[in-house]
Amino acid sequence: RDFNERCAQCSEVNWGLTDGGRYYCRSCHNVTERTREVVNTDFMTNSRVQTISKGSRKQEKTDRGCEWYVCEGFQLVLKKQAEALEALGVCPQMKDEVLYNFWRRYLQKSKQAYCNRPAGETVKALSVCESSTDVDSEPERPSLLHLLSLSESEGGLQTDCSFASSMSKVSESTSVYSGSVDGSLYLMKNQKKKLRMTMPMTLSFCYMALLWLREPITLSELLRFVVEGHIPYLNVFQHFPEKMKLCGLDLKIFCVESWPVYEEVYNKMLELAAFLDLPRFPDITDSCFLHPDMLCIKYLMEANLPDELHNWTCRVVKKIGIGEVDFLTLVPGNKSTRKVKYDILAAAVIVVVLKLLFLLDDHYEWLLSDFAEERNKNNKEGGLYFEFKKWYEVVKHSLDVEQKKLDEERAKYLWRCEKPLFYSDKNKSKVLKRRQMVVNLQNQFGKLSSSVRRAEKPNPSSFQLSWSEENTDGSCFHGHSLKGILQEKCGLLTAMNPDYWLCTVKLCNEKLCGHLAHYREVDFPQSYHFVLRLFSFLLRIQPSYIHDEVCMIEHKLFNKKLYKKLKYNTVLRK
Amino acid sequence: SSHEHRLNFKKSKEACLSYIQDAMLQKQWKRAAEFLTCYVESLEKDYSREPIGPSEMIWRIGTEILCHHSHSSMKEFNCFMEQMKTLGVKRYLKVCLEHVFHLLCNGQIDEAYQNLSLAESWRYGEQTAIQDKEMKLIQAYRGLLDYYSWSKQKNILLEHGLDGFADLSVEQEMHSCFRKAAVNLKEIIKIPGVWDLFVKCYVDLLEFYGDHNEACQVLNEYAYNSKFPANPNAHVYLYQFLKRQGESKKSLISALKILHDIVPSHELMIDFNTMLQKSKKRKKRRLGLEVIFAALDYAGWKENVKAWSCLARQVKQIVISKKHLDWIKQEWNSRKDWWPAFHFSRYLAKRNWQENKSLSYEKALVAGILLGKDCKYFKYVSHQGCKAQVKRFRMLKKFVNRHNPVYLRISG
């Protein structure tokens, strides 16, 4: 801002910039011939903001659309996601207050620029932050391939070598290409300290907000809703306004071709919470949905297990103290405590309870089941005793059917959308031609298909498996009794099963090898594997993660005994 | 798989492909189409690193589905093929060729011809040179279709006889087809390979226009050039040509010799044996015996009366002349362990007698000589024959009885 001449017409010194880079007098709108020579990367000064807000966007002649910044894009994404969550029943506070505040704080902390929204957008204007200090006066010319190779693992596009090869034909010295203003800068700078925003991270934001509000949606559910299409993620850029053109490197930022993984989203969320210097999150008490006692109810129902098992899950939770407020509540930045994954924890508690009661050594549980079966045959009064064998058959059948459906859905997934993506205007026509051919082929073979692809997504539901007591075929086990496997000792109800086997005698160092234990299907009984498989399906995560939590719980539960009996015993007496 | 939770585009499409594969193997065409619909968006991704890209997959899978699906039509198929042609320039001629094959299989000769002509005129920089083989094939098939036209016109002319000027245009067209066909057919058969149909057509053309030298040369090349893969048909064609031309027995025999080596069970072995038997040269007659024994080693000849009669005749002749009994001994040596059960069981005796008296007669003669008058086959058949008072069986019995010592000499 070094233009200090007086205006020829009105003698004021009050200059702004047109889109063409010319100075104009704000008082009398006299446009001069003086242009700014230096490309000032110091975008975010007030004057710039005001220039844009003066409606010069309307004067766009090129079809490059308006100038937009990457963070604006992400803001739109978050907005869409929040709206979707609201439609699912989340309280409106989430979008209007919590998420918005988190985002604002993030922008401030990461010193990113943002600007006023043009009229018509509903998101409130964000305050201008201090100008970025880490911008070189001479913008670097980054190597194209270098940029493309960055952030490979962050859910972005695989390096598209046709793009690389087509671009490399262009002279090396041309600047890198993106529809957004700062796309190339975005990818280039070492943003490790600043926690660069990515698409998976938008889900981390959402989950963090949900957690703050203690909404009854677990992370696994959130991710499932994303995959099922109820929450925009894939191809969310379709909802960007027309004038926000996406091309070149923007694609690497906004277009994802893989589904986010639980671990990734979760860890990013922790990182984010620490980065934002958030205080201790609102308490997770025993009346919260995320409390293990509550989640266990849900999962027991979904797994078609007897309600009576809930007493046992509560006992385990109490015994090892994982129901305590301080254990469950998230304190960002506190590296000493192991962070809680509520859904996995609850599932693991159920697995441990099943092991306590049924042993699950591929032997004992069937034995117990035979006894229960005998008893059920001879004595119909007083309700049915729970038969592991029947439960296994019923649940396995449903699980196999649902798993098969899920596998097919995954294979049939359509990743592309109508809005075409091109790296540059050069391959625009090729991309459009290809798209047209794809649509033609889809029509041709679609007509020859067996079923009409359903146009509507199925309604989002919290329960994937449901069992009704009204079914007369006895396929619902909620009301079944555990009497056959329990006994009374000193006034307390205990399991008849006297044994227990530990999943692992020694826990690994999670920080070093990423897991507490290493799960291989062949090393464990098939019943145990089946139970893991069941919850693995419900939560859409690998069985090994549940196995880790099971190990953790077991070690807390048998803590004392473990110190006594050291290396060689894996079977303990309770 | 159910354990792979990190799902991305590539894995999703791989899974999709395996579902397509399963569906196709089980002939569930609707299901295959369903998954293919989901797979086609792979075209929008770059796969230039993979050996087989999605465009080739889609072409091949789509073709299969459209061929077998009950609701698909040639129109749809053609539309699909046209799209596939634009997908990959490196594959353009191959796709054209396969399209042509399908059109031919569906009887759309004219469309096939049009497509071939179109493909022949295609040029695309260095690709044209790279796809040289396919281009040759395209020209060859066009040559074939030209031959087909020629043939039709020839038949028209022959039917109408010498009507005169009305047929002049047909005749001219016929000659033009001949020229076009000849050029292309000649080219393709130069390349080592199996070109049976092309060779036959080309020779037909040459023979019609009287160029027998060229025809002979072509057939010799085809049969004897070591660069070409061993092909029994080549020898058959040559033999048939020489026969048509009325060549000497000597050349006919030499044409069939390699055929005997390659395919001892060939149907022409009867002709071969017949010629060899009549030869004055001892070696040739010896060969004849070898040929007929070898042919009858094969199950397909078991009930062939002609073959048995050839063997019977030759064996009878040897026995009567009392010369060269060692020939029979040599041939019989490797067969005496299994021919009795194979040809001369009692069961077969009964069956042959019931079904085919002539067969049983010839076989009985051979059995009688090789196994003696007491063998099951001969006993049964001659008994039945004599019972039925059929004259030749009575003669047969006498003959074998008379020459029984021969059997002893053979078997010993």
Say yes or no: A392 and A484 in one domain: yes
Nearest neighbour of A542 by CB, restricted to B5, B31, B62 = B5
Cα dihedral sign for B217, B219, B224, B227?
Answer: positive
- Give residue A572's pLDDT: 53
Cα-to-chain-centroid distance, residue A475:
34
Domain that holds residue A31: 1-35
Does residue A312 sit in the same domain as residue A270?
no
| CB-count exposure of residue A338 (10 Å: 0-12, 13-18, 19+) | exposed
Chain A residues inside the 8 Å CB shell of B44:
416, 431, 434-435, 438
Question: How distant is the Cα of B18 from the closest Cα of chain A, in angstroms?
Answer: 9
Whether A177 is covered by a domain: the verdict is: no
Percent of chain A with pLDDT over 90: 36
A210 and A350 assigned to the same domain? no
Does one domain contain both A271 and A304?
no
Q: Would you say residue A359 lies in a domain? A: yes
User: Cβ–Cβ of A542/B30 closer than 8 Å?
Assistant: no
Among A413, A442, A448, whose Cβ lies nearest the Cβ of B69? A448
d(CA B406, CA A225): 94
Do A161 and B15 count as a contact with CB atoms less than 8 A apart?
no
Number of domains in chain A: 3
A-B contacts (CB, under 8 Å): 116
Helix orientation angle between B282-295 and B269-277, rounded to the nearest 10 degrees: 150
Longest dimension (CA), chain B: 90
Report whether pLDDT(A38) > 90.
no
Same domain, A15 and A75: no
CB contact under 8 A, B83 and A437: yes
Model pLDDT for residues A279-316, shown as the tens digit of each residue: 999 999 989 999 999 999 999 999 999 999 999 999 99
pLDDT class of A130 with cuts at 50, 70, 90: very low
The tens digit of pLDDT for each residue in A375-394 reads 888 887 778 889 999 999 99
User: In this structure, are A398 and A345 located in the same domain?
Assistant: yes
pLDDT of residue A471: 72
For chain A, the residues whose C-beta falls within 8 A of a C-beta of chain B are: 158, 160-163, 257-259, 261-262, 403, 406-408, 410-416, 431, 434-435, 437-438, 440-442, 444-451, 453, 533, 536-537, 540-543
Q: Is a pLDDT exceeding 70 seen at residue A551?
A: yes
Q: State pLDDT tens for residues A331-341.
A: 988 777 778 99
Does a structural domain hold residue A522? yes
- Evaluate whether residue A211 is within a structural domain: yes
Evaluate whether residue A291 is within a structural domain. Answer: no
Q: What is the pLDDT of residues A183-242, one digit of tens each?
A: 777 776 665 566 788 899 999 999 999 999 999 999 999 999 999 989 999 888 888 888
Helix intervals (H) in A235-360: 250-254, 262-275, 292-302, 309-320, 325-328, 342-358
Question: Helix (H, G, I), strand (E, B), or coil: what is residue B8?
Answer: strand
CB atoms A434 and B44 under 8 Å: yes
Say if residue A356 is in the same domain as residue A504. Answer: yes
Same domain, A25 and A82: no
pLDDT class of A12 with cuts at 50, 70, 90: low
Q: Using 50, 70 and 90 to split pLDDT, how confident is the model at A469? A: confident
Shared domain check, A311 and A218: no
Written as tens digits, the pLDDT of chain B (412 aa) is 334 456 788 889 999 999 999 999 999 999 999 999 999 998 887 666 677 888 899 999 999 999 998 888 888 899 999 999 988 888 899 999 999 999 999 899 999 999 999 999 998 888 888 888 999 999 999 999 999 999 988 888 888 766 655 567 778 888 999 999 999 999 999 999 999 999 999 999 999 999 999 999 999 999 999 999 989 999 999 999 999 999 898 999 999 999 999 999 999 999 999 999 999 999 999 999 999 999 999 999 999 999 999 999 999 999 998 888 899 999 999 999 999 999 999 999 999 999 999 999 999 999 999 998 889 999 999 999 999 888 889 889 888 888 887 777 776 5
Smallest CA–CA separation between B219 and chain A, in Å? 47
Based on the fold, state whether residues A23 and A97 are members of the same structural domain: no
3-state secondary structure of A486: strand
Residue A286 maps to a domain: no
Q: Is residue A553 part of a domain?
A: yes
Q: Residue A335: inside a domain, yes or no? A: yes
Percent of chain A with pLDDT over 70: 73
Domain identity same for A234 and A338: no
Same structural domain for residues A392 and A309? yes
Most B CBs within 10 Å: which of A162, A448, A532, as the mutation test of the B interface?
A448
CB contact under 8 A, B36 and A445: yes
Whether residues B83 and A441 touch (CB distance < 8 A) is answered with yes
Give the whole-angstrom CA distance, residue A545 versus residue A554.
14
Q: What residues does A489 pair with on adjacent strands?
A: A492
Asked if A403's CB is within 8 angstroms of B1's CB, the reply is no
Give the burial class of A33: count Cβ atoms within 10 A of its Cβ; 0-12 exposed, 13-18 middle, 19 or more buried. exposed
